[in-house]
Amino acid sequence: MKKHNFNSGPSILPQTVLEQAAQAIMEFNNTGLSLLEIGHRTTYFMEALAEARALVRELMDLDDSYEVLFLHGGATTQFMQVPMNLLDTNETAAYCDNGIWGNKALKEASLFGNVNVVASSKDKNHTYINKGFDIPADAKYLHITTNNTVEGTQWHHIPDTNVPIVADMSSDIFSRPLDYKKFALIYAGAQKNMGAAGVNLVVVKKDILGKITRPIPSIMDYAKHIAADSLMNTPPVFAVYVALLTLRWIKAEGGLEEMGKRNLEKSNLLYQTLDSLPIFTPTVAKEDRSQMNAVFVLTNPAHEAPFLELCKERGMVGVKGYRTVGGIRVSMYNALALESVQIFCDLMHEFAASVS
């Protein structure tokens, strides 16, 4: 039976990326060796890394005032690394508290300096994105999570401010065209739209670095990674290579314009179906719905178990809500075909008919 992969992460990747990755493990680039067995300072790998870095800048339309790094770890590593590099002990950073992950980020930041929670959607269980809040001009930076994977919300308008914006884009990186110049630092832990888990993408405007007094351990220091061309130590070679394959796929498919078009089409279909069937109840404010993760509940809680069972029977993988939240979550990352969403929507209709 064909599986439809709605996993929230690690999640679906393009089939062609998987095939090329498997091939590279058997033999990389006619070297007679596996990708896992070649030195990271060989031309082979250094070219792959350089291509991946260049593709990120190209897809986001950023000039060379930005640097692109591929670093060890996941977004949780960046929760620490961002304030360690940007926030001095007596300074204040502005954080938006719009979900589980953003909340973890601000807690880690509080170990390094002062955190000012300038907006929070906690009053309504993080089911919306704050708008029109004040951003103190002296904040060192403003931290937002552009897509809240667990709660199913997404920022559709990036605030206009002179305060440098730091964004965790782990779950909507490369999913849509945006004015990426509005950001001073973008980070994204794999694995959602970008490749294998175990690598962080960090895109940083160079002029925000070097402005704190704290000594930074080498492996955490963005400036040192830039000086070392993102090759300070043995990088997560395989994860970087899968990121490259994914970036090539995105470009070949038409770049972020095309990804944005497809993701809009998929999420429109899903949300229209959701709104048309009273047995399902959306949990998120309409204008803040995520194109990546649709979160909803069964209007009658007794319907949840049989619906999940039906999904399982039909090969729908990963549609159960986050372990602390419950309900249903349907993740529709770049590599998920419209067809899978259509089949899921058909199933929603079928289930609705069966219980009415």
Q: What is the 3-state secondary structure (H, E, C) of the chain?
A: CCCEECCCCCCCCCHHHHHHHHHHHHCCCCCCCCHHHCCCCCHHHHHHHHHHHHHHHHHHCCCCCEEEEEEECCHHHHHHHHHHHHCCCCCEEEEEECCHHHHHHHHHHCCCCEEEEEEECHHHCCCCCCCCCCCCCCCCCEEEECEECCCCEECCCCCCCCCCEEEECCCCCCCCCCCHHHCCEEEEECCCCCCCCCEEEEEEEHHHCCCCCCCCCHHHCHHHHHHCCCCCCCCCHHHHHHHHHHHHHHHHHCHHHHHHHHHHHHHHHHHHHHHHCCCEEECCCHHHECCCEEEEEECCHHHHHHHHHHHHHCCEECCECCCCCCCEEEECCCCCCHHHHHHHHHHHHHHHHHHC
Q: Any catalytic annotation for residue 101?
A: yes
The nearer residue to a copy of itself, 38 or 60, going by C-beta atoms, is 38
Beta carbon of residue 333, minimum distance to a copy of itself (angstroms, whole number): 10
Beta carbon of residue 94, minimum distance to a copy of itself (angstroms, whole number): 20
Q: Does 327 bind a copy of itself (CB under 8 A)?
A: no
- Among positions 162-201, residues that touch a copy of itself (CB under 8 A) are 189, 191, 195-199
The Cα 256–Cα 334 span in angstroms is: 10
Q: Does 277 bind a copy of itself (CB under 8 A)?
A: no
Q: Does 90 bind a copy of itself (CB under 8 A)?
A: no
Q: Does 125 bind a copy of itself (CB under 8 A)?
A: no
Q: Does 213 bind a copy of itself (CB under 8 A)?
A: no
**Exposed / middle / buried, residue 322 (Cβ in 10 Å: 0-12, 13-18, 19+):** middle
Q: Any catalytic annotation for residue 249?
A: no
- Among positions 55-74, residues that touch a copy of itself (CB under 8 A) are 72-74
Answer for which of 33, 46, 226, 343 binds a copy of itself (CB under 8 A) is 33
As a dihedral over the C-alpha atoms of residue 73, residue 79, residue 80, residue 82, rounded to 10 degrees, the angle is 100
Check the annotation: does 191 bind a ligand: yes
Q: Does 247 bind a copy of itself (CB under 8 A)?
A: no
Q: Does 11 bind a copy of itself (CB under 8 A)?
A: yes
Beta bridge partners of 296: 282, 328
Count of residues engaged in binding a copy of itself, rule: CB under 8 A: 66
Beta carbon of residue 85, minimum distance to a copy of itself (angstroms, whole number): 13
Beta carbon of residue 331, minimum distance to a copy of itself (angstroms, whole number): 10
**Measured in Å, how far apart are the chain's first and last C-alpha atoms?**
28
Q: Does 137 bind a copy of itself (CB under 8 A)?
A: no
Check the annotation: does 168 bind a ligand: yes
Beta carbon of residue 135, minimum distance to a copy of itself (angstroms, whole number): 25
The nearer residue to a copy of itself, 11 or 263, going by C-beta atoms, is 11
Q: Sketch the per residue contact string, 216 through 235, with a copy of itself: x for CB under 8 A, - otherwise.
A: -xxxx-----------xxxx
- Span interacting with a copy of itself, options 8-16, 51-59, 272-280, 348-356, rule CB under 8 A: 8-16
Q: Any catalytic annotation for residue 155?
A: no
From the list 140, 155, 168, 172, the catalytic residue is 168
Residues near a copy of itself (CB under 8 A) are 1-3, 5, 7-13, 18-19, 21-23, 25-26, 31-34, 36-41, 72-77, 79-80, 84, 104, 107-108, 111, 189, 191, 195-199, 215, 217-220, 232-239, 242, 315, 317-318, 323
Binding residues for pyridoxal 5'-phosphate, as ranges, are 75-76, 101, 149, 168, 191, 233-234
Q: Kindly list the catalytic residues.
A: 101, 168, 192
